[in-house]
Structure 1
Amino acid sequence: MEQHFEFTQQISSRTNNLSGLQEFCTNLMVQSPEKVFQSFDFTSLSENSLISLIKRDDLQMKEVEVWENILKWGLAQNSTLIPDPSTWTDDDFKKMKVTLQNCIPLVRFFCLSSKEFTYKVRPYQKLLSNQFYEELLNSYLDPDSVSVYNVLLPRKIVTRSPPLENTAQVVDSLIVDSSIVSKISSWIDKTVDNKFANISEYKFELLLRGSRDGFTPKKFHELCDGKYNTVTFIKIKGSEEIIGGYNPLIWKSSVGTWGKTKESFIFSFKGKNIKDAIISNVKDEKYAIYCRSICGPFFGSDIFITACSESANYTNTWCRKFYYEKEIRKTTDEFSMEDYEVFQIKKQ
């Protein structure tokens, strides 16, 4: 039946008496959407068949691809429209909005990255209600914002690589678990909450662990210099606190140089409870990151980690508000590190 899927699907969708065949077709589309969409003209799907597909939590397709295929289907139902939305009139948008009125609510827009939103959704802004679009836009400007809408959770994508059965396989960490990893992923993608991030989209590659590699600037620079997109987790000794930061730039050994970026942020967690998490975005991007041979991961003087020499253990470690928006600790006292880890984050 897979070889003649288009015919099978069309026959099954014409009657309610072939529910078993309909279920087979839907399951095939859910598990192997690329095969189906490449093998036949999916725009011939009925609206009910399309809805039964895109409402599934287990649809094995990236959300941006779901959105793109819905738009293709909508265009096929309106043959007078051309694909470029910049040429559409208000009437064109109204026509397309009516066509897709039952499909658009099933798209998990809050799961999209900021780049996907900018290039794939914003040109079609008029297909969405003003209030919904404003909330969606705000979710990228303020990752801590909460939507009044019933936001759908990410689809349950099955990773094709070795199965992620436990936290250790998601991220090889002695400090954080999958909930914190997911939260960090959502902040990097500028989504609104940890529940909208898909952990399997990222690979957290361990570069350094203090308890394994030592607590010296020399070892930090040896293992982490030249690496883009790193996140540092620090477990504070004698407490449940976890602090850290995300650096999209490279670390490097130098006499003392500042790294400029508006994408970095620092954070704190009270143990592994993400409800009380604090994210602090960089305020003065000229002083986001500081690199020096006697320093460890150093975020704008707000997370301050130095030693008296490259080969000595860290002696000066504290958090004080300077170049980032918020305080991430209630105290400015020095702290000792129970352990710290640095990961490079890569898209899978």
Structure 2
Amino acid sequence: MAKFPGKIFISSDLTKFPEKSLTSLIKRDDLQMKEIEIWEIILKWGLAQNLNLISDPDTWLDDGFKSMKNTLQNCLPLIRFYSLSSKEFFHRVEPYKKLLNQQLYKELLSSYMDPDIKANENISLPRSLKINGIIDSKIVDLNIVSLITRWIDKVDVNIKFAQFRELYLPYKFQLLLRGSRDGFTPKRFHELCDDKPCTVTFIKIKGTGEIIGGYNPTVWLSSGGWGKIKDSFIFSFKSKKEFFKDPILSKVKDYNYALNRLLERHGPFFGGDILIYSEDSRTNYSTSYCQQTFYEKKIRNTIDKFSMDDYEVFQLISR
């Protein structure tokens, strides 16, 4: 049922569809429907139980809203409103705002409009939609990919809520390099990644599970000096499973030193903030550490050297 819910709702008479079956379906994390579609299904189900109401909420009187709210009292708490885009919220939820708890409505509105408000700890994460062909990664999943892509496209006013929005996947992440497959030398990095625009690097740190990395909107080179880039950024996550707990986005603050492309023995080298290199381009990386320098925030609490479990570089391709 969770894999093909649309067929169930299309084939069912919603006037006879049991509330218990509906709530058991929409509470599932693996329900393969967009949140706005789930919202519209429960509205249709509610209308099917209130045949005196027509679909246009502008025609409803207060008694109509009270009746509908009572009908949907067990369904409304199961809708993940924070997964909706601002456009979906304003055009397809706002007309029904009298159905929502006033405090919830106020907090939702703030999440779309206030860049400084913090997210409530009780917000549900987006549903686990299965979308093939986006990325082949041993380090990250679609939740992290969606969040990184939002940061790249700057689609959220408040980045503190970005991880709670529905998956945003306008790009295919094409694998260029995986350390465990291609090796951990600067030479292989430059052979496979140089001259390819718009890349994201993911690094999994051995022993901690941390994931760090950065976005390069231009190209990597094995020489040529500092890369003067305006829109590059670096990031960190506590782990793959805990991506939603205080992810760090650190934007470049000194554009003149966004990328270090000075030597062929350097790997992915974001300013002075993520440094990965070896003594010789043909030998494995000997030094890796983070030190807040040319980007706004530090992405690790230590400047100690680290070893990599693995690292991957992807090129973004529009879908």
Deviations 1:172-215 (A, max 9, x none): 53xx4xxx6476347436676989987x9998764312344233
User: Helix, strand or coil: the match of 1:330?
Assistant: coil
Report the structure, 1 or 2, having the larger helix content.
1
- Aligned residue in 2 for 1:165: none
User: Distance in 2 between the 1:93 and 1:345 partners?
Assistant: 50
- Aligned residue in 1 for 2:228: 258
The CA RMSD measured in Å over matched residues stands at 5.2
- Aligned residue in 2 for 1:147: 120
Deviation for aligned residue 1:120: 0.7
* Equivalent pair of 1:234/1:337 in contact (CA under 8 Å): yes
User: Distance in 1 between the 2:66 and 2:87 partners?
Assistant: 19
* Equivalent pair of 1:308/1:315 in contact (CA under 8 Å): yes
User: Distance in 2 between the 1:93 and 1:290 partners?
Assistant: 59
- Aligned residue in 2 for 1:327: 298
Pairs within 5 Å for 1:218-237: 218-224=187-193, 225-226=195-196, 228=198, 230-235=200-205
User: Distance in 2 between the 1:290 and 1:156 partners?
Assistant: 35
* Equivalent pair of 2:5/2:32 in contact (CA under 8 Å): yes
* Equivalent pair of 1:259/1:291 in contact (CA under 8 Å): no
* Equivalent pair of 2:177/2:192 in contact (CA under 8 Å): yes
Q: Which runs of 5+ in 2 are unaligned?
A: 151-158
Relative to structure 1, the CA distance from residue 56 to residue 280 in structure 2 (aligned partners, 3 Å threshold; closer, same or farther) is closer
Deviation for aligned residue 1:60: 3.2
- Aligned residue in 1 for 2:68: 99
Tell me if 1:66 matches 2:35: no
- Aligned residue in 2 for 1:292: 261
Matching residue within 201, 209, 212 for 2:178: 209
User: In the alignment, residue 196 of structure 2 is paired with which amino acid?
Assistant: G
Matching residue within 124, 138, 144 for 1:184: 144
Deviation for aligned residue 1:66: 1.1
Deviation for aligned residue 1:216: 4.0
User: Distance in 2 between the 1:339 and 1:31 partners?
Assistant: 33
User: Distance in 1 between the 2:146 and 2:37 partners?
Assistant: 19
User: In the alignment, residue 301 of structure 1 is paired with which amino acid?
Assistant: G
- Aligned residue in 2 for 1:249: 217
Deviations 1:229-274 (A, max 9, x none): 62411435xx546442242735433733233338x441154x7784
User: Distance in 1 between the 2:291 and 2:318 partners?
Assistant: 32
Corresponding pairs, count = 291
Deviations 1:290-321 (A, max 9, x none): 26374432334321335678667656643111
Matching residue within 90, 95, 107 for 1:122: 90
Deviation for aligned residue 1:107: 0.8
User: Distance in 2 between the 1:344 and 1:93 partners?
Assistant: 53
User: In the alignment, residue 245 of structure 1 is paired with which amino acid?
Assistant: G
Tell me if 1:81 matches 2:50: no
Highest relative contact order (Cα 8 Å, sep 6+), 1 or 2?
Answer: 2
Identity of aligned residues (%): 34
Structure 2-normalised TM-score? 0.62
Tell me if 1:32 matches 2:4: yes
User: Helix, strand or coil: the match of 2:312?
Assistant: strand
